[in-house]
Amino acid sequence: MNVGVMSVVAQVAAGLAAGVHVLVFVWETLLFERPGVHWGVFKVRTEDVAPVRLWSFNVGLYNLFLGSGTVIGLIALNTGNESIGRALVFYTCGFMVLAGIGLGVSDRLALSRPKGTGVIGTISQITPALVAVIALALA
């Protein structure tokens, strides 16, 4: 595969990773109190929403910052600031992969919710970011 194709793969995957993180920000920070979100997405019981609200709000902001950093990196990459753009995308997507591993470990340990309920979230967080990091390293 040539460098141009790898660059496109990296950018599309990074855009998907950013989108996932911005969506999760909306769920965790803006819509968490809705049953379709706190239970439907995160498997947090209604009676547990108040005790974890500070956590969800704060973690949502982390997700927004990661997604925004990736978008800024993609903009830089495509506006003549290639080294800054590559560094930002590589760092934020690498962070997403590591955080996803942490999410997977917490799921396997059944921390705060039933074991196995975080598999989809873990895969969603890791996969596009990992594809972006690998493609960026090869581009």
The residues spanned by each domain of the chain are 3-138
Which of 58, 60, 88, 87 has its CA nearest to residue 72?
Answer: 88
pLDDT at 135: 95
pTM of the shown model: 0.90
pLDDT at 2: 52
Written as tens digits, the pLDDT of the chain (139 aa) is 555 777 999 999 999 999 999 999 999 999 999 999 999 998 899 999 999 999 999 999 999 999 999 999 999 999 999 999 999 999 999 999 999 999 999 989 988 777 888 899 899 999 999 999 999 999 8
- For 18, residues 6+ apart whose C-beta sits below 8 A from its C-beta are 66, 67, 68, 70, 71, 74, 92
